[in-house]
Amino acid sequence: MTGVSSDQYAAGEQGLGYIYQPRFALLKLLQWPEDTSVLIEKDDDLDFVSFDGVKTLASLKHKGDGDTLTDLSTDFWKSVRIWLDRYNRDGKTEANLRFFLFTTGSISNSSFLQHFLVEPPTKDDDSVSITQITNTALARSKSKLITAIADEFNKLTDEQKDDFLSRIIIFDGGPRIEDLPTIIKNQHMRIIRRDNRDAIFERLEGWWNNTIVDLLTGKRKEAIFGYEISDKLAAFSEEYKSDNLPITFRGKMPVGEIDAMNDPRLFVVQLREIGVSSNRIRNAILDYYRAFEQRSSWARENLLVTGEMEDYEDRLVDEWSRYKDVVFEELDENSADEVLITAGKALYQWADLESGNIHSLRIRERVSEPYVVRGGFHILANSRPLPKIFWHPHFLNRVGQLLGAQA
């Protein structure tokens, strides 16, 4: 990637250029047929391969506002140097290659590069070929870089020069990096509700960037196909249907260490009261964290209808209360503490291991992620001033005394 000439902006534009590559690749795969594939930083900035095996080497130039390309622009000639090398490597006229230059800048009206645009200007003299025009431009340059490229270019026969140059297309005035999300959302996500497009694009680009990293680090060996984007976009869209909600905290971890033995939160204290092992308490803390953060995410994205979470918690409390009455039915005031603890463990085991299988405890029909239910119970067990659910039969009395002592 090449930055602008001003030192004030050069580093910033160069940095944007590297970030531009994956985002631009995402746009092109959405625009082109699904069986198109892409590699990044292989033969060029981006290598696109169509279903029939034609490889497009794409050079990307994210320029400063107002930048233009002229006859001597190194942006163009550096790309030509790369393309010449690949052209020679792949058998010259036998090569299954084409060469695209995408730039956010514009082509100078006086530059011969105008002839490489998608819609080139009409030549004043039709007898003058693009090869002759290119040779003239090369001959005018005293640049060591361009002179070296001219030497390599002149090793080709006239037929090969014509063939090589005919493969080059320049796309100028392209969208800048900050414009690409809007283009993708407005042109390629129209089947998705407008209210959900920002959230789905964010998730799509997160998946895409991780896939690009896997490609660059060698974790992924094969090219990325356009249909993978279509499949992922469809999967994300399904999560935003009226009977579903996106699950985005699966496997996520809270910041800092988990201290099962000293965590002062009420839902953790409750678990220690019935002798739950530290490993199970750790899992409970994870469920609480994921459920809490997931709810916050749904709220930020306005995915919940008014009163939906309150109704859901009422269902959790009601189901817990019914099972509690069964488990505690044989207890009385004289029950030994060991019996009370055993009953509390049985009640918690139901919430921890069995409640996730109860269809009626899903917040929506297709939301089957276990941490939503399990974490929901822990959130209710952590509510103040008194928990809405408890495990030890006498915990409400104990926590009441505790809160009274703290008042």
Band the pLDDT of 328: cuts 50, 70, 90: very high
Q: What is the pLDDT of residue 65?
A: 83
Q: Of 104-118, 133-147, 234-248, 350-364, give the lowest mean pLDDT range.
A: 133-147
Residue 3 has pLDDT above 60, yes or no: no
Q: What is the pLDDT of residue 126?
A: 67
For the chain, give the mean pLDDT.
91
Amino acid identity, position 87: Y
**3-state DSSP assignment of residue 72:** coil
Band the pLDDT of 216: cuts 50, 70, 90: very high
DSSP state of 13: H
pLDDT tens-digit readout, 337-358: 999 999 999 999 999 999 988 9
Residue 404 has pLDDT above 70, yes or no: no
Residue 64 has pLDDT above 90, yes or no: no
What are the E-state strand segments in 129-233? Answer: 168-171, 224-225
Band the pLDDT of 172: cuts 50, 70, 90: very high
CATH of domain 7-230: 3.40.1350
Map out the domains of the chain as residue ranges: 7-230, 266-406
Q: What is the pLDDT of residue 313?
A: 97
DSSP state of 117: B
**Cα(224)–Cα(402) distance, integer angstroms:** 59
pLDDT tens-digit readout, 289-302: 999 999 999 999 99
Output the six-digit token pair for 27. Answer: 């746009």
**Cα(233)–Cα(89) distance, integer angstroms:** 37
According to DSSP, the residues that pair with 117 across neighbouring strands are: 170
**Cα(390)–Cα(380) distance, integer angstroms:** 9
Total-model pTM: 0.78
